[in-house]
Amino acid sequence: MQDLNSYVQQERIGTGGYGDVYRAVRIIGGDVVALKKSRSDAECIARTKREIEVQRRLLHANVMPVLDWADDGSWFVMPVAKGDTGLVHSLTPLRGAELLRYIEDVAAALSAAHRRDLVHRDVKPANILWLNDRWVVADWGFVRLPSGEVQTKLTRTGVGSESFTAPEVYRDGSAATRACDVYSLARVVGSLHRDA
């Protein structure tokens, strides 16, 4: 594990509900990485910490890996993806075998999480990225942990994106089940079909 001073931060390449992602260069070795920095309020840091823990726990080919991190949840490092679903689909529409591969990759990531009683709760095009010739699911900060593992309640109201999240979860995040992730994936695939 490095510290934040091991990286030179460059331009911002993404922004989300509780943090921003920057292109960065590791000083030793010169590797280009994606550096996600949490916003400074307590809930954002707690969500980033949860994201780090879950992504490190899953260790699945279709889950975005964590390369380096701060134990306090203030930042972590990932590989740089080539783009999210929206960008890739706008350049080369996902149809036929490519769309099937997309569904299989995302379903494999969600299945790995569901076997551990984890529910992503925020499956949407922006959280599905093309990395090293495969699709990976990222942004696990809204994940519902197994009931015995929840230490602090971060979700007081609904989570996710209204366009893709199951209605019951959008109203109340604690209502999330595995079926809600499947629903969200179906909504994502439907949106790709409309855009094709």
> What's at 52, amino acid-wise?
I
Residues 55 and 89 in one domain: no
Both 143 and 171 in one domain: the answer is yes
Residues 46 and 99 in one domain: no
- Which of 25, 49, 78 is the endpoint of a domain? 78
DSSP 125: G
Q: What distance in Å separates the CA atoms of residue 119 and residue 26, rounded to the nearest whole number?
A: 32
Query: C-alpha 112: how far from its chain's center?
Result: 14
Q: What is the pTM of this model?
A: 0.92
CA atoms of 75 and 77, how far apart (whole Å):
7
| pLDDT at res. 171 | 80
Q: Give yes or no: residues 103 and 167 share one domain.
A: yes
Residue 136 pairs in a beta bridge with: 129
Per-residue pLDDT of the chain (196 residues; tens, 9 = 90+): 678 999 999 999 999 889 999 999 999 999 999 999 999 999 999 999 999 999 999 999 999 999 999 999 999 999 999 999 999 999 999 999 999 999 999 999 999 999 999 999 999 999 999 999 999 999 999 999 987 775 555 554 556 677 899 888 878 888 889 999 999 999 999 999 876 5
Which 3 state secondary structure label does DSSP give 12?
strand
Active site amino acids: 122
Are 112 and 169 members of one domain?
Answer: yes
**Domain region containing 157:** 83-195
Q: Give the residue ranges of DSSP H helices in 135-176.
A: 167-171
